[in-house]
Each structure stands twice: as C-alpha cells, then as structure tokens.
A and B are shown apart, each in its own frame.
Chain A
Amino acid sequence: MKGVIAGLEMREPSSLDEALSAMRNDPSLVPLAGCTDLYVALNFGTLESTRFLNLWSIDELRVIEKSNDALSIGALTTYKSIIQSKLVRKRLPMLISAAREIGGAQIHNRGTLGGNIANGSPAGDTLPVLAAADATVVMRSADAERRVPLTQFYTGYRKSVLRADELIVAVEIPSFSGKQWFRKVGTRAAQAISKVVMAAVRSPRPRIALGSVAPTVIRLPMTEGALEEGAPIQEAQRILMDEISPIDDMRSTEEYRRRVASNLLGRFWAETE
C-alpha cells in the first residue's frame, strides 16, 4: 500500500440533491461509488484527491426501468444487479455478457456502471456495449440535467465532457432490434483487463464497437457502412484494421490487437448469420 490514508476526508450525502449541492459548493469533492477503481489508485499512491463524496447510499441512482421506450439504468447499478435484471436480459443481453466477465464476485457486488463510464478506461468492458447500443449518458448538476450520446462522451484518453460539479445519474438505451454479440479477450480466462473487447448488433445497418484499440471506446462507422452495403466480410475486416489505432503496451501488441479485432468481426458475422 503506497497511498497515504491520514488526511482523507469523506462526505456521506443521503440524497442526490444533497450530493449535487455539495459538489456545486466544493468542486474538489470526488464522487465515489463502488470504489473499485479509486481504491486501486489509492493503493498505488497515484490518487491525487483527498476529499470524497460517498454516493453508495443514494438508492435513487440504482433504478433499472423502462422510461418511454428506452431502457434506463441508474449509475449506481452494480454488475450483480445488471446480471439479475430481467429487463436488462430482455433488452440488452450483451450487457449481461459483459457484466459477467467483469472482475469476480467482489467486483460484481461493488463495481457500478456509472463508475465504469466515469473512470473512462479504453478497456472498460461495458463501454463497447453502450456504444453499440447507441446509449445516452444522463448527467446532472445542481442546476441542470443534460444528455450526451456515449459516442460523444469521451474527448480523449480518459477525458470526457463530464464536469467537476456533475454526476452521471443514468444511461438510457433506446430500443433496437438485431442479434447482440459480445466478446472479451483478456490476459487470462477471468479477472483480466481486456486486450480487445467488442460488442456488436446484427441489424440492417450493423453496429460495431471496440474497446482497447484506440484512446477511447470507438464505433466503426466505415466498417458498419461497408457491411450495410453488402461488402464481403473480408473487405469489412480490412476496413476495420484501418479504422482502429491500437498500440503496444505491457499487455499486448498493436499487431495482435489489429488481427484479433478483425478475427472477432469475422466471428461476429459468422455467429449472427
């Protein structure tokens, strides 16, 4: 443990309004949900903030519901609740596939969807699902609420449009049809960070999203367009390889990521015929 514990402060708001007004008054407050990302940073001594706002008891952020025709999932929803939700199973089964492969039982109980989005790792496993599902991120500050499509939420590596006085309150997923598909490729069979992760929907205009192959999660409009126009899968795979920008890092190589992303596209296409 390299983090310094003494001098850390935590506020415990009991409602969303209380949390938001605390954040308006003090933008140095960092919200914490399941703490599964924050604690790792604290352990490594890389967490700069010392003042926290514990969201855990704000149950109004845990709701999974149909609102109009969209599926709305509260930001504090844990992976465990996602896996158990009949509504999610019906509308967005690929999110359940993703949730199952995130961490282990402990992370399922603590890790939240909002935390995965706000943390903004390009390897976040729910992000390709949300991108392929055309999800909208709902953010709220003490003054206003705004909605931004997930594909426009990130502005760069671990950067987003979220402001210091805002919380993510929910994601909304419009209804859509087509076979959903998810595949995670990690450094081992479980409890691993993704080297490549893909979510896709087989519909007249296929939707394809990839994680860990660019500074942020990405959709692949050119690949999708080619498939929509009936291009052979091999050609779509070539386009995909140009459309992504993976790198070498300590977990994998650029070449591997490109090849595997292309293979996953082929597998998706074959399995959803």
Chain B
Amino acid sequence: MHASKIASPLAVGRNVPRKDSAEKVAGAAKYVDDLVFPGMLYGRTIRSTIPRGRIAATRLAFDQRGFVVADYRDIPGRNVVALIEDDQPFLAEREIRHTAEPILLLAHESRDLLLRAHVEIGYERENPVLDPESSPTAFKSLAIDKGEIEDGFSEADIIIEGEYRTGHQEHIYIETNGVIAVPQDGGITLLGSMQCPFYVHKALKSMLGWSDERIRVVQTETGGGFGGKEEYPSLIAGHAALLALKANRPVKIVYDRAEDMIATTKRHPAIVRHRTGVKRDGRLTAMDIDIVMDAGAYVTLSPVVLSRGAIHAAGPYRCDHVRVRGRAMMTNTPPNGAFRGFGAPQTQFAVEVHMERIAETLGIDPVKLRETNAFRPGDTTSTGQILGEDCSALDVLRRAVRRSGFRTRQRRYAGTNRGIGLALFYHGSGFTGGGEVRLASKASLGLTERGVQILVASTEIGQGTRTMHAQIVADALGVPFDDVYPVQPDTSNVPDSGPTVASRTCMVVGRILQQCAEEMKTRLGGMTPREFFAAHGPMIVTSEYEGPSGIKWDDSTYRGDAYSTYAWACDVAEVEINPDTFEVRPLKLTCVHDIGKAIHPVLVAGQIEGGTAQGIGYALIEQVVMREGSMANAQLTNYTIPTTLDTPPIDVVIVENPSRYGPHGAKGVGELPIDGPAPAIVNAVRSIGIDLREIPAVPEIVMKAIDLGKGKTDARHVPL
C-alpha cells in the first residue's frame, strides 16, 4: 500500500529546529575533551622559545618513569604536514623557523607530572626576519592583468594613491584545538575538533606511510572553527598519533587557551597599496594594486589565501584596466592560515577605504561614487569573468542606503562626533578557479530503517551544516525533515565531500546532496523510504560534483571564471568617537546581504550577525601584539574580542537573488559578513574627519590619526 500523499510542509526556507540543538542545550553533546578512553595518556608539546635558529641540544631534565617521549626520529613516514608545499615538519629536526614550533612530545597518565616535566633546549640563534616587506623569501607571487594599465592611467583626470594596513586576527573559537589518537588493530583512529577530516587523513597517511584503511579520522562535536581548524588539526593529530603509537595507548592532546593562541594560525596581516586613475565624474579608469601578506614561517595555505585576496582586491567595481600584484612573504612568526574570509577581508578593507578617499578627493558623495562604478550584470571582473544576473552589487547598495537612512543621518551627524560610512563588497562562493573540479567532491545518501541518512565529510562546527543539509535533502526527496538525519563525519564511513571551508558547504555540497536525493527519488519509484526499505532493504546513492558547464579558469594566467557565483553585500556603520579616550563606538550596523537563498533564515541571520561582530572586533579591538615574533598577549584578558556592549544593534536584511548553481539558488554566506564591517566602520570614522587607514583601529591608533590630521592644512574639520 502506498502511503497517503499528504505532502509534508517544505523544509527549505523555514526555521526548522536545529538537528543538534537539544543535545547542545542540554549539555549532552560530547566534545573531544569530554571523551576518556581506558588507559589514556595526556600529551604535551615542547615548543621552541626562539623565532629562528638551530637546535643545539635537548635534555630531559625530569624523572622519565611513566613517560613516553617522541621526536622527529619516531616518524615512520615523511616529516612534513602534507598540504600545499611539503615544507612544514610535524616536529623540528634541527632548524627552528618560529617560536612555538613543536620539537618534542611527552605523554603521561598524570597531567600534573606532565606539566612539571622540564625539558632544556639549547639553541644557536639566528636573526629572525619579522618584517614581511624586507623578507627575502616569497612563498607565492601572483599577477592579475586586465587591459593595459598605462592606457587606463592616461585616460585618468586624477591619480589617487594610498597604503592600507590590516593586522593579525585570532580565531577565538570557544573550543580550543584538541585530538585523541587511539591505536587499535594495526591501525589508528583520530577523534578531534576539526573542519576537514580528510585533510587530517591525508596528512597522517603521509606521516605514517600507511595505506588509507589503517587510518580513521572522526570529527567530534566541534565548538567553532572560523578556519582555525582547517589545516591546524593535521599537525596536532600527527602529534597525538606519534605518541599513541609509541605508547600503544590512547593519547589526548587538548591545548589550553594560551597554547592555542601562541601556537596556532591567525589571519594574515597585509599591506595593500592602491594607485587609481579616475575621471572627474568618478569613473575608474585604472586600478593598480600591490598586496603584501605576512605568511609566517611555513607555506600552509598562504598561496590560496593570497589568491582569493588578489581576486577580490579591486572590489565589486567595473574598471577596464586593472593590475594586481601579490606576494605572500615568509617571516619567522608562527604560520598564518585559513580564517573566515581567506584574504578577502584584507584586500576589500583596502579598496573600500581607498574608494572613500577617492570620493573625498573628488568631492563626490561616497554612495554616488559606488553607484557609478558598481558591477552590473554583463560587466567583467579583473580576471575577465563576465557577471550574470546573479550580480546584485547595485541592488544591495541602494537597499542599504535606503534602509539605514544614510543621507538623513549623514546630514544629521555632520559636524558632530558621530559619523556614518559604508562598504560595498562581495565574496566568491566555493573554491577558487578550478578548485572545485579538482576536488571532485562526493556525497552520499543512505536509506535505512530509520529514514534517510546523510553521508558527507562536511562538518557541523556550529554553523548549522546538519540542519541545512537535511532541509535540502528532505525537500528534494519529498520526505519530512525529521526523517532525514546526519551522521558523524568519519573517514571510514563517509565519502570525501571536501573540506568545510570557502563558504561551499551549502552551495557545493548541498547541491551534490540534492542530486543524490533526486536520484534516490527516482529509484524509490513512488514508494516512501520506509516502504522501499521494507521491500528491498537498504540503499546508498552517491553523487559527485559536476563542474557547471561553461565555467572556465586558467590557473597559469589567472584569467577566467574565478568563482561560479558571488554573494554581494553592503554594510552601513554608524559610529561615535569619544573625544576624551579616542574610542570608536559603533552605534548601529545595517547589513544587506544577497546570499541567493536562505535555506534557514535564522541560521543565515546568525552567520551575518556573528560575522559582523567578528568584523567589529577585527576593525576596532582585536590586536595581536607581536614581540620578537611571538604573541605577547596570548590570553583572553589582553587579546580582547567584542562583548555585547561592544556590539551595537545589527539590522540584517537578507536578499535572495538566486545563483544558477547552488541548491534553490543558494550562494555562500559563511565568509561574506566578515569582509564588510571593518571598511564600513573606518569609513564612518573618516566621515568625522579622521584620516584612518589601518586596523585594528584601537584608540591609540585613532589618537595618532587625529594628531596627524591636525598637522595638515588640508585636513577637514576635526570636532575634537
């Protein structure tokens, strides 16, 4: 008998309950530090205390009873964290390239004895390279050329130049990095807090020299990532595995906050220089952009971070002649890595503050200047990509201006210590260029007794993966949302659907799941999943990413379709500056974001609000103080992130201009919101008459900018 055909309400577009909310709210969800295995040891990492040099001698100055000690000689395979370049060792052999570089590993049953163990390391010191601009080593250089830059400059009425700087940023996921390694049956299982189980799998295979099936990686409930658990977990997993194999017992390594801050990756600091040709009416004729990123001591993901930064560097603006040059420079500081936005926040900060300065120089209203130049469908980007109807730059700009009452407020704030500013920005969804085709991600759906099981490597890290995927699958199959359930990402059980990064989990993996569901629906032949299961038993459907037809990219020339679609946004910031303390207080942010389709509006708004709050921290508060190549304020007391009192009301407007490729037209949303707040806030401060070009704009920096402005005869009125 066929089930009655009462359609369940569609899940997509509704704020269905999160798949994981009950467990998390009840405190029942198990994070890696909640897990205990019989006979488990605790692991500790002994790290370098100098930024550059060679290890001369190591001495274990403690009673070694009950300890397991491992160093690079215990690595059976290759001593490199396999990622892009094979340059970063799991454990230093002789050369030290940064402080907090792992040298030696200890494990013991007792955490106290482990903490007390003292290891002496003697060094031959060398002079560290700390300034990326004077570093002799570029990990990656790239060039984007559109048109003929000199032609563009000869068409210009005025040329405007500027230099913009952005600082490090620390992820501050609530849960620090942690892993447990469990050796069993000639293999090893790694359980941990991570974004990309298959990255860990790949790195361990190469470190151990083992075949695929001997290594199993399981993501445990993860308390935030923001990119900080993209590549780093490979390193810590390698460490736990080495100790566990040597001890033949499970080993847990969980960093405390200080270790996590001092040793793990951060956002790349950047120096971006613009030279722009403009007509008197504001049209851009030439954009010449130079980007320097501080990569830190090893390559990690810097080439791709630089690449995304460079592709977004000219902003969402039409210009026939663009030249971008980018370099990721080696310094003797801990490697910088993936962080929400992935290079784009740095370069879009620069271009958006530069646009403001162009408006100031020309005496043109900043909205007008952006309206003149914003991309329209049919325009080409700096890489030569022709934008389709899914380009909403002008639309989000106009909506944000109206919604925030920009012009009224601009007039009202004139001559006061309040200001208003905006930033127009965009973010490419998914991997850059041919990345998605190369990844060839897979996803599966399983039909089980319980319903429909989602089998993907995409991780839930708080952003709502499980819920959003289940919504897409439920609707594509025509089954109730409650019948679709996620499984824990486990490399022995799920296909490789690629890393959980690059705003791709909904748009790319969600789309593959949708294909799976469509195929499963065909195979069900009109039966419900339960009926089918009763008649035929379980079934698994697997689908693979198919590159959208007509999309072309050439990695050697940086020409072509950099992303299959972009998400577009405009942020308006209103701020107040305290004349006594030079503190900038945001009063309100209006965020208008076109993300194609909000599969779950509450989760989308959460991403936008959270990303905006993180962007406020990036703009105003979060300062990594580096001394001799090491983070001096590696504690939450002194590296401060915004509290609710630092975060103003955020007015979120979701715009849905669909993309042709994502499920239901969805584009990426995870990273977009971090790109806009910093330039919007700095431009709001600029509107008060303060020439600010650097973040984090802590009060000490704002004070200096005010002082410099007062010395200049052409400075606008500073009401301070």
Contacts and interface: CB of A to CB of B under 8 A. Distances in A.
B699 interface: yes
The 4 closest A-B pairs by CB, nearest first: A189-B645, A263-B580, A6-B112, A190-B645
A150 interface: no
Interface string A1-21: 111111100000000000000
Nearest to B254: A1
Given A189-B646, A191-B643, A267-B580, A250 B115 contact: no
A250 B625 contact: yes
A187 B621 contact: yes
Interface stretch (B211-219, B377-385, B398-406, B632-640): B632-640
Nearest to B110: A6
Given A188-B643, A266-B580, A193 B638 contact: yes
A259 B579 CA distance: 11
B56 interface: no
B134 to A, nearest CB: 24
A252 B581 CA distance: 12
Contact of A260 (B115, B116, B580, B585): B580
A256 B547 CA distance: 55
Contacts of B551: none
Interface residues of A, number: 31
B700 interface: yes
Contacts of A193: 637-638
Interface in B108-135: 110, 112, 115-116
A2 B258 contact: yes
Contacts of B110: 6
A225 B637 CA distance: 37
8 contacts: A7-B112, A185-B583, A188-B640, A188-B642, A190-B643, A256-B699, A260-B699, A263-B579
A193 B112 CA distance: 30
A189 B256 CA distance: 26
B539 interface: no
B364 interface: no
Contacts of A188: 621, 640, 642-643, 645-646
Interface in A223-272: 250-253, 255-256, 259-260, 263-264, 266-267
B626 to A, nearest CB: 10
B524 interface: no
Interface of A: 1-7, 40, 43-45, 185, 187-193, 250-253, 255-256, 259-260, 263-264, 266-267
Nearest to A260: B581
B700 A264 contact: no
Contacts of B256: 1-2, 43
A190 B646 contact: yes
Output the residue of A3, A259, A264 with the most chain B CB within 10 A. A259
A67 to B, nearest CB: 36
Nearest to A192: B640
Nearest to A4: B112
A189 B637 CA distance: 13
B638 A251 contact: yes
A44 to B, nearest CB: 7
A255 B633 CA distance: 20
B585 A189 contact: yes
Contacts of A259: 703
Contacts of A260: 580-582, 699
Nearest to B256: A1
Given A2-B258, A256-B700, A264 B638 contact: no
Contacts of A7: 112
Contacts of A190: 643-646
A250 B633 CA distance: 7
Chain B interface, DSSP helix/strand/loop, else mixed: loop
Given A190-B645, A260-B580, A2 B621 contact: no
Contacts of B621: 187-188
A104 to B, nearest CB: 8
Contacts of A191: 640, 643
A231 B267 CA distance: 50
A99 B703 CA distance: 28
A110 to B, nearest CB: 16
B708 to A, nearest CB: 14
Contacts of A264: 580
B115 A45 contact: yes
Nearest to A5: B112
Contacts of B581: 185, 260, 263
A2 B625 contact: no
A188 B535 CA distance: 63
A103 B698 CA distance: 21
Nearest to A263: B580
B448 to A, nearest CB: 42
Nearest to A44: B258
Interface in B577-604: 579-583, 585
Given A2-B256, A188-B640, 16 more contacts: A1-B256, A4-B115, A4-B116, A7-B112, A44-B258, A188-B646, A189-B585, A190-B643, A190-B645, A191-B640, A255-B700, A255-B703, A260-B580, A260-B581, A260-B582, A264-B580
Contacts of B579: 263
Interface string B636-662: 011010111110000000000000000
Interface string B240-267: 0000000000000000101000000000
Nearest to A187: B640
B288 to A, nearest CB: 35
A188 B613 CA distance: 13
A43 B256 CA distance: 9
B643 A2 contact: no
B549 to A, nearest CB: 50
Contacts of A6: 110, 112
Contacts of A192: 640
A253 B704 CA distance: 11
Nearest to B585: A189
Contacts of B637: 40, 193
A258 B253 CA distance: 45
Nearest to B116: A4
B699 to A, nearest CB: 7
Contacts of B644: 190
A7 B115 CA distance: 13
Indicate the member of B115, B116, B642, B644 with the most A CB atoms within 10 Å.
B115
A76 B640 CA distance: 29
B643 A189 contact: yes
B544 to A, nearest CB: 45
A13 to B, nearest CB: 27
B201 to A, nearest CB: 30
Contacts of A185: 581, 583
Interface in B374-415: none
Contacts of B640: 187-188, 191-192
Nearest to A259: B703
Contacts of A256: 582, 699-700, 703
Contacts of B698: 187
A151 to B, nearest CB: 25
A199 to B, nearest CB: 15
A16 to B, nearest CB: 32
A3 B115 CA distance: 8
Nearest to A193: B637
A123 to B, nearest CB: 11
A252 to B, nearest CB: 6
A45 B635 CA distance: 13
Nearest to B647: A189
A252 B700 contact: yes
| Most chain B CB atoms below 10 A, which of A7, A187, A190 | A187
Contacts of A40: 637
Contacts of A250: 625, 632-633, 638
